[in-house]
A and B are shown apart, each in its own frame.
Chain A
Amino acid sequence: MKRVLDSLNEGFHRVMKERPEVVVIGQDILDPYGGAFKVTRGLSTDYPERVITSPISEAGITGVGIGLALQKFRPVVEVMFGDFTTLIVDQLINHGTKIYAMYGQRVPLPLTVRTPMGARRGYGPTHSQSLERLFMGVPGLNVVAVSPLVDPGELLTQVILSDGPSLFVENKTLYSHPLWSEESSIQGMKVTRSEDTFPSCTLSYGEEPDVTLVTYGGMTPICLKAAARLREEEELICDVVILHEISPFKVDAIGASLRKSRRMVVAEEGTYSWGWGAEVIARLSEYRFDAPPVRVAAREVPIPAARSMEDEVLPQVRDVVAAAIQTVDSDLR
């Protein structure tokens, strides 16, 4: 059974083979270690000149990446833990997304920054966050998140081959998650994928949905478990909409389900206020809601290192279930 990690690694190998301009920069990525989470395993053996190990200098390697991109390479810069993306903000935002406009002609800048976000491993407050929210809404920056529903290796390839700077968000707990293919029946739900390069997926029981659950990335399996529990315990039928391109994003798939259900829950692993959910609700505000939409997210405290306390802070299946029931029991007048 192929896992997300395997797909990422295989995709990486494929694109390195097919595109000689792809180079990889990161800390501890050389074989035999092959990277902290092993996504880059085997690359330095097969392509020794194109895999560059670096000291601890996130801002530095991002700047180097920008320079390489301007020189027609396709650099993939790894930030070992998503929490450390704070160190690259100036390079990525003030330089990476604006340089293309400085030359009197539009200059492609195909830089990919990839990083694992997410908690649930007891890694503590500075190794568990979901900080992709800090990069959303930056003009010119694409943020793409992995889920088991779309081949992650393919997704990574498409991001690497795109022309502008991108943040590719992986998730630590998803690395070992099995892939869900087009044909797999996921707890009896049917999958519909949109036609986009970074598709949105809608999972449905084939009946009129009572509530639409919207999420991305690491919260995907949690929302699916919640949908199953809601169906079994409360007889509620939920559609689950998973986006992969999360900033900017398209509302079409969400809207199509919302038109039928008129009730929505948006779930994310990041913290509650000013998160992705807030933007989704704002964008969907033109649609008819029968109840106020509800966000599920992490509590606004540093993520504890103790696993039991970490569980309290992070959004769980029970929180998504409660949110769905809340939309059913409340009304918009």
Chain B
Amino acid sequence: MKPRFNIISLTSCTGCISTLISLDIFPQFLERIKINYFLFILDSDDIEECEIALVEGCISEETQINLIRKIRKRAKRVFALGTCACFGGILSLSNSKKAEPLSNHIEIDGMIPGCPPPSKFFGNCLINLVGNKDIILSEKNMCANCPLRGSIEINSHIKITKINPNPEEIRLGEENSECFLNNGILCLGPITRDGCEHKCIKMGLPCEGCMGPVSKDFTSNVVNFLSLIELSQELQKYTGIYNRFSKPKINR
């Protein structure tokens, strides 16, 4: 029997679902599964029993909590799709809204992080899911395979003054050979999970952390990381760093 899927959007930009549909394996994926619930492409009335639920988006409204519990109840396995569902996502920047990952309310069986999840990785995840396997995430951080990783100097003093390079300073992968941190640009690669093929870094931009942390929560990691480097006064209080894709559970 084909595995049944429920694909649900909570508060999100629908980018993960549009990525899902644009995947080159999407037609084959559709063929090998049975879609129960997927409002984007299918008329369906209610969330029915299924083998796998893929949930995109964060929880920003009280009503979504009941919805997500229902999804959990009716699915054998629930996977968080995209950074919003995994960690809270972009809405974490908001002070007035909450942006909770699924795991704040239900137990999840795995996650497919990324904003959006990188196509190749996403495709592999789907193949695994269809084959009733788990999703394999790298346990290392971005530095592990970073094209800019050079020799590590213990005593080099890092002073961060910028979040991004100025537009005129952007250099492509091959023109840029030094770690962003050494140039005073904040790269969140050290606290971000490997797996995105370093696309931003190859394009000359530092990692913004969309794949989320490997362990602990995003904010703890940012704080731990930044406590090691000197940060310009202006950036020290900039929520654009700390809450980029996630905020602590207590900061609702």
Whether chains A and B associate is no
Q: Which residues of A contact B (CB under 8 A)?
A: none
Q: Which residues of B contact A (CB under 8 A)?
A: none
